[in-house]
Amino acid sequence: MLSVYPSSVLDAPAVESESSVDFVEELRLRTHARKHYISREDRKPDLHPIVLDEMLRVDREMSR
């Protein structure tokens, strides 16, 4: 079965945050971050750390 998530999402360790989230919640947050991507200049720093991490990954992918 093919995964709908890039391998970087599945291979990367979870971002440490104040409250831990389970694997399913992390995937939900990362999917949300990709669907609702915000450019770095417009991004609010108070977003969930996992959302910010995934948006940074998108930034890196777009710069390739």
User: Is residue 28 helix, strand or coil?
Assistant: helix
Looking at the structure of the chain, the number of domains it has is 1
- Supply 37's token pair: 């991507």
**Domain assignment of residue 27, given as a range:** 21-62
Please write the tens of the pLDDT for every residue from 41-62: 999 999 999 999 999 999 999 9
Task: Tell me if 7 is assigned to some domain.
Answer: no
Q: 17 vs 52, which has greater pLDDT?
A: 52
Task: Tell me if 1 is assigned to some domain.
Answer: no
Q: For residue 20, what pLDDT band results from cuts at 50, 70 and 90? A: confident
Task: Tell me if 50 is assigned to some domain.
Answer: yes
pTM greater than 0.75 (yes/no): no
